[in-house]
Structure 1
């Protein structure tokens, strides 16, 4: 088994296209998607059309927290990034979102969720201190969140940080990083920033070998400045900075 894992596209269709081209160049046909597909001041409409064309259905895609906001909240209650996406999206995009599960098991061997198996808005592999430090979550806390999952490979996204953590029983948790948003700030649970320090699109290639799961994190260059300029045009300077530099 060899496949690609993508997450956190956030409406960045140019980054998604670059990642898909890279995946195709590697000869990989299977892709799983860990959610947060649309939210952002970019191109939610084009992103949605491409995901539908790829047929990344509910059998290969789970719903992210921002995906959930788009289908559960009234348009006038959405935050800026979600509201921008909502205005661009068509009924077919919303219909696709409504069919996505919170979590799933893919091909009986891989567990997929957006953030944690219990909550789509909590970092699994990271923790945030009251002083805005984002660090690796203690091992016992990571393992507690994985209780009850039988699959040897567990995939999550949400934090936009490419990372893998081995559990004491041999299971592996992998976050492939973010396709379309290399940096952001947030005020929950405390104000903090997540910054990759680069402007490339990120994803992971995962292969089952005789020795276990092998993970390769890949970073793909694309015309990130075009997306940065689009974010600036749409009144989002913090997104423009993030897309240009990987920092906010």
Structure 2
């Protein structure tokens, strides 16, 4: 089994197209989408149309929930823009997506942590900012969930490509490998949820991961794909989002 893992597209259609083309070139048995699909000042409707046609295994992230809440009251700028630039059919598709997914008996998919889409799985927030989580912290976040029984856990939310081995179930040979593919569409951001922090990949590339089952265990390739990030940055500028324009053009917050 070879899985292509995408996450955090954020309406960046040219980045998504570049990633899908790279997956087609390298080959994968299945592509799974870990959420945060449309929110942002880019191409939410076009991105929804592309993904709805593909019918990939897909879960909802926090921004799917936040976008849908805009039907009742105004939301954050990224969610509100995507809500106003998508159709009822797009929003109904988002509402149909599950929060987690058992992709295979030993492959589990969540956006953030199994219990919450707002908290990172592989990073920990402290007053000083964000740091890589310790394996024991990750194990505690997975304990008591289907992720604890998985040999491979796929997540997103942080936009940081990361692979971490943790030991949860002592009866699970080889432990659990947790993989965040990074973000297809937004390589940097800042946030004040929990504590003010910045996540940066350091380049404007679109990111995804390839996970291959081998006799020795899961092999993971974190892939950075070039695309026309200048066009994405220019689109954000036209929509009045200077911060997004900077993040897209540089990969720095």
Instruction: Bin the TM-score by the shorter chain.
Output: over 0.9
Tell me how many residue pairs correspond in the alignment.
Answer: 244
Specify the alignment match of 1:139 in structure 2: 135
Specify the alignment match of 2:106 in structure 1: 109
Alpha-carbon distance in structure 1 between the residues aligned to 2:234 and 2:90: 25
Residue 72 to residue 244, structure 1, CA distance change in 2 (3 Å): same
1:203-232 CA distances to partner (integer Å, 9 max, x unpaired)?
A: 000100000000000000000000000101
- Tell me whether 1:193 sits opposite 2:190 in the alignment: no
CA contact under 8 A between 2:139 and 2:166: conserved in structure 1? yes
> Which of 236, 245, 248 is the equivalent residue of 1:240?
245
Alpha-carbon distance in structure 2 between the residues aligned to 1:226 and 1:205: 26
TM-score by length of 2: 0.94
Alpha-carbon distance in structure 2 between the residues aligned to 1:152 and 1:93: 33
> Which of 94, 101, 106 is the equivalent residue of 2:91?
94
Alpha-carbon distance in structure 2 between the residues aligned to 1:93 and 1:205: 28
CA contact under 8 A between 1:129 and 1:190: conserved in structure 2? yes
Query: Which has the higher mean CA deviation after the structures are superposed, 136-145 or 177-186?
Result: 136-145
Specify the alignment match of 2:33 in structure 1: 33
Q: Offset at 1:144?
A: 0.5
CA contact under 8 A between 1:75 and 1:86: conserved in structure 2? no
Specify the alignment match of 1:19 in structure 2: 19
Q: Offset at 1:138?
A: 2.3
Alpha-carbon distance in structure 2 between the residues aligned to 1:83 and 1:76: 9
Alpha-carbon distance in structure 2 between the residues aligned to 1:18 and 1:88: 23
Alpha-carbon distance in structure 2 between the residues aligned to 1:139 and 1:209: 23
Aligned alpha-carbon RMSD (Å): 1.1
TM-score by length of 1: 0.95
Specify the alignment match of 1:68 in structure 2: 65
Alpha-carbon distance in structure 2 between the residues aligned to 1:12 and 1:29: 24
- Tell me whether 1:5 sits opposite 2:5 in the alignment: yes
Alpha-carbon distance in structure 1 between the residues aligned to 2:229 and 2:73: 30
Structure 1: gaps spanning 5 or more residues? none
Q: Offset at 1:27?
A: 2.3
Q: Offset at 1:156?
A: 0.5
Q: Offset at 1:104?
A: 1.3
- Tell me whether 1:153 sits opposite 2:149 in the alignment: no
Q: Secondary structure at the match of 1:173?
A: strand
Q: Secondary structure at the match of 1:50?
A: helix
Alpha-carbon distance in structure 2 between the residues aligned to 1:3 and 1:173: 14
Structure 2: gaps spanning 5 or more residues? none
1:14-68 CA distances to partner (integer Å, 9 max, x unpaired)?
A: 1000000000011224100000000000000110000011112xxx111100011
